[in-house]
C-alpha cells in the first residue's frame, strides 16, 4: 500500500471518530481546539498504532519477499556474524530467565509458511541494535528475527522481521555485537505457545524436520555464510532438505566453494542431507512443531540479474542451450550478465548459455582471513595496507614473529622469513593485517 493511500484511510477513520466523539459531547469539552487539531491528534495516535503492529489485508497479501536481490560475497562478509561465545545450553540458561509471564502480542491474519528476506527493501534499513548503533539493521544483522518471524507467521499468524526485531531488542535478546542470542528462539516458543525442542545434534535436527517441525539452524562459516547465520529448514523429502535462507541473494551459490552443492528455485534452496552435514557447518537447532498440513504463502519470485566476468586461458564457448550448439565465443575478462542458472550453467541472454565454472565475481576478495604461511625468502611487514607505508624493523615485530624468525635462522630479520606462520585478522585487497602489521598475501599461502 502506498503512503498516500495509507494516510487517506487513516484520515477517514480519524474523521469518523471525531464525528462520533462530537456527538457524544467530546467536542464541547474541547471547544478551544479546532476539529482539525483534534483530528490531527487522533490521526497521529492511530498512525503510530497501525504502523507498529497492524497491517491491512493488502499489505498482508504482499508480505512474502518476492525479489532475490543482487549482492556479492564481499557484502556477505561485511555482515555482523551470529556467533555465540557460550555453550548452547549454558547460553540459554544465562539469557533466558524462564519467567512464566510473557507479553501478549497481537498477530496479523494467518497466511501460512512465508519466505522473508532480511535484505527486503521494505525493512533492510530498519535499525536492529541494543547499543544505539544505527549501522546495525535488519539487513546487516537480522537473520535471527527474520527466521523467527518466518516460524511464527507459518504456525500462528503474521509478524514481520522488523516487528520481531523490536521485540528481541525490548526483551534483551539482541546482543551488543554478535547478532541474536540463541535463547531468543526458546523465548519465541513460550511467547507464541509453540511446541519446541532444541538440540546440537545434527541427526536429531534432521529427524525433527522429518517429524513435522520447522527447524531454525545456527550455521557457521561454510555453505550458507561466511561467518555465522540463522536459516530455516521447512521440510525434507527423501534426501532433500528445503531451506529458507534469510540472506539469499542472486549468485550466492555460484562461488567456487559452494557451486554444485545446492539447487535454487525462486526463494527455496534445496540441499541434500549429505551436503548439509558436510558443508553447512551446523552448530545448533531450534525446532517448532506444526500440524503437518503446511499452507504456503507463495507469490512469483523475481531474481535480479547480476554481473560476472569470464575467467579462461583461451576462450569460453557460448551455446544455444545447455550442452547445445556453439554459437559464439567469449574471452578472458569479458563481462556478462547472468539471468538464470541451472546446475553449473548460466544463461547470459536469449538462447545463450555458458559453463558457470569459468565465470567469476571480480568483487569477490582474492584472500580471506585465517592462517597463512610466508612463501617469500623475506616478507616485509608494513605499517599499513600498501607499499607506500613504512617497513617495520625487527624490534617492531611481535615476540612471536621474532621467535619464529629465530627458528628459521635470523632473529634480527626486518620482516618475516619463509615458513613463518601468521594469523590474518583483516583483509584489504591483497594485503592482510597480522599482529605485527600488514603483509602482502601474494607472498603467502593459506594454511
387 burial via Cβ count (<10 Å: 0-12, 13-18, 19+)? exposed
The answer to whether residue 290 scores a pLDDT higher than 80 is yes
CATH number for the segment(s) 73-297: 3.90.70.10
Selected residue with higher pLDDT from 32 and 184: 184
Residue 281 neighbours by CB distance under 10 Å: 17
Q: How open is the CA angle 116-121-127, to the nearest 5 degrees?
A: 85
Q: Is 432:424 a contact under the CB 8 Å cutoff?
A: yes
Lowest-pLDDT choice from 1-5, 143-147, 352-356, 407-411: 1-5
Residue 365 has pLDDT above 60, yes or no: yes
- Determine the pLDDT at residue 82: 75
Residue 283: half-sphere exposure toward Cβ, Cα within 13 Å: 22
SS (H, E, C) 5-45: HHHHHHHHHHHHHHHHHHHCCHHHHCCCCCHHHHHHHHHHH
Query: Which of 22-36, 187-201, 324-338 is modeled with the greatest confidence?
Result: 187-201
Range of lowest pLDDT (7-11, 190-194, 386-390): 7-11
Q: Is residue 329 very low, low, confident or very high in pLDDT (cuts 50, 70, 90)? A: very high
Whole-number Å distance between alpha carbons of 84 and 383: 32
Residue 135 has pLDDT above 60, yes or no: yes
Per-residue confidence band for 239, with pLDDT thresholds at 50, 70 and 90: very high
Greater pLDDT, 94 or 444: 444
231 touches 285 (CB < 8 A): no
CATH code of the region 370-446: 2.30.30.40
Residue 223's nearest CA partner among 177, 266, 264, 259 is 259
Which residues, listed in sequence order, are joined to residue 437 by a DSSP beta bridge?
434
Task: Work out the pLDDT band at 62, boundaries 50, 70, 90.
Answer: low
Of the listed ranges 27-41, 130-144, 232-246, 383-397, the one predicted with least confidence: 27-41
Residue positions counted in the chain: 447
Cell numbers for 139, please give them.
Answer: 539487513
Residue 127 confidence (pLDDT): 95
- Three-point CA angle 280, 282, 283, nearest 5°: 150
Q: Which fold has domain 305-360?
A: SH3 type barrels. (2.30.30)
Residue 375 has pLDDT above 90, yes or no: yes
Q: What's the burial of 257, exposed, middle or buried (CB within 10 Å: 0-12/13-18/19+)? A: exposed
At residue 415, the pLDDT reads: 96
User: Among the listed ranges 31-45, 87-101, 170-184, 296-310, which one has the minimum average pLDDT value?
Assistant: 31-45
Query: 220 falls in which pLDDT band (50, 70, 90)?
Result: very high
If you average pLDDT over residues 315-338, what whole number do you get? 92
One-letter-per-residue 3-state SS of the chain: CCHHHHHHHHHHHHHHHHHHHHHCCHHHHCCCCCHHHHHHHHHHHHHHHHHHHCCCHHHHHCCCCCEECECCHHHHHCCCCCCCCCCHHHHHHHHCCCCCCCCCCCCCCCCCEECCCCCCCCCCCCECCCCCCCCCEHHHHCHHHHHHHHHHHHHCCCCCHHHHHHHHHHCCCECCCCCECCHHHHHHHHHCCCCEEEECCHHHHHHHHHCCEEEEEEEECCCCCCCEEEEEEEEEECCEEEEECCCCCECHHHCCCCCCCEEEECCEEEEEHHHHHHHCCEEEEEEEECCCCCCEECCCCEECCEEEEECCCCEEEEECCCCCCEEEEEECCCEEEECEEECCEEEEECCEEEEHHHEECCCCCCCCCEEEEECCCEECCECCCCCCCCECCHHHCCHHHHHHHHHCCCCCCCCEECCCEEEECEEECCEEEECCEEEEHHHEEEC
18-32, 92-106, 414-428: lowest mean pLDDT where? Answer: 18-32
| Structure-model confidence comparison of residues 40 and 85, the more confident one | 85
When the pLDDT of each residue in the chain is averaged and rounded to a whole number, the result is 84
When pLDDT is averaged across residues 291-311 and rounded to a whole number, the result is: 83
Compute the average pLDDT of residues 173-193: 91
Amino acid at each position: 500500500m502506498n503512503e498516500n493511500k495509507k494516510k487517506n484511510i487513516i484520515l477517514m477513520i480519524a474523521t469518523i471518530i471525531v464525528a462520533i466523539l462530537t456527538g457524544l459531547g467530546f467536542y464541547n469539552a474541547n471547544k478551544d481546539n479546532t476539529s482539525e487539531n483534534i483530528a490531527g491528534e487522533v490521526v497521529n495516535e492511530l498512525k503510530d498504532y497501525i504502523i507498529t503492529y497492524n497491517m491491512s489485508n493488502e499489505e498482508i497479501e504482499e508480505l512474502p519477499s518476492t525479489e532475490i536481490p543482487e549482492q556479492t560475497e564481499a557484502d556477505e562478509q561485511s555482515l555482523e556474524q551470529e556467533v555465540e561465545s557460550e555453550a548452547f545450553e549454558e547460553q540459554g540458561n544465562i539469557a533466558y530467565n524462564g519467567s512464566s509471564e510473557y507479553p501478549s502480542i497481537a498477530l496479523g491474519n494467518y497466511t501460512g509458511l512465508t519466505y522473508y528476506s532480511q535484505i527486503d527493501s521494505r525493512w533492510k534499513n530498519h535499525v536492529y541494535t541494543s547499543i544505539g548503533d544505527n549501522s546495525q539493521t535488519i539487513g546487516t544483522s537480522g537473520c535471527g528475527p527474520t527466521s523467527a518471524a518466518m516460524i511464527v507467521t507459518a504456525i500462528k499468524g503474521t509478524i514481520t522481521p522488523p516487528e520481531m526485531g523490536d521485540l528481541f531488542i525490548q526483551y534483551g535478546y539482541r546482543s551488543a555485537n554478535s547478532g541474536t542470542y540463541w535463547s531468543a528462539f526458546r523465548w519465541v516458543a513460550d511467547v507464541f505457545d509453540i511446541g519446541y525442542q532444541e538440540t546440537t545434534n545434527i541427526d536429531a535436527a534432521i529427524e525433527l524436520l522429518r517429524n513435522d517441525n520447522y527447524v531454525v539452524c545456527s550455521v557457521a562459516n561454510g555453505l550458507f555464510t561466511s561467518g555465522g547465520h540463522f536459516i530455516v529448514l521447512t521440510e525434507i523429502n527423501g534426501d532433500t532438505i528445503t531451506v529458507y535462507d534469510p540472506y539469499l541473494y542472486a549468485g550466492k551459490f555460484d562461488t567456487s566453494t559452494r557451486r554444485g552443492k545446492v539447487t535454487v528455485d525462486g526463494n527455496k534452496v534445496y540441499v541434500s542431507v549429505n551436503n548439509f552435514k558436510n558443508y553447512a557447518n551446523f552448530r545448533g537447532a531450534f525446532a517448532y512443531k506444526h500440524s503437518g498440513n503446511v499452507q504456503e504463502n507463495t507469490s512469483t519470485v523475481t531474481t535480479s540479474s547480476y554481473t560476472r566476468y569470464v575467467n579462461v586461458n583461451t576462450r569460453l564457448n557460448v551455446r544455444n542451450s545447455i550442452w547445445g550448439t556453439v554459437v559464439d565465443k567469449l574471452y578472458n575478462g569479458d563481462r556478462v550478465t547472468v539471468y538464470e542458472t541451472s546446475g553449473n550453467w548460466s544463461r547470459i541472454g536469449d538462447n545463450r548459455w555458458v559453463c558457470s565454472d569459468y565465470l567469476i565475481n571480480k568483487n569477490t576478495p582474492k584472500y580471506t582471513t585465517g592462517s597463512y604461511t610466508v612463501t617469500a625468502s623475506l616478507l616485509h611487514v608494513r605499517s599499513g595496507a600498501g607499499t607506500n607505508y613504512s617497513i617495520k624493523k625487527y624490534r617492531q615485530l611481535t615476540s612471536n614473529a621474532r621467535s619464529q624468525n629465530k627458528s628459521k635462522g635470523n632473529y634480527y630479520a626486518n620482516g618475516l622469513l619463509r615458513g613463518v606462520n601468521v594469523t590474518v585478522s583483516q583483509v584489504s585487497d591483497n594485503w592482510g593485517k597480522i599482529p605485527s602489521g600488514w603483509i602482502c598475501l601474494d607472498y603467502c599461502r593459506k594454511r
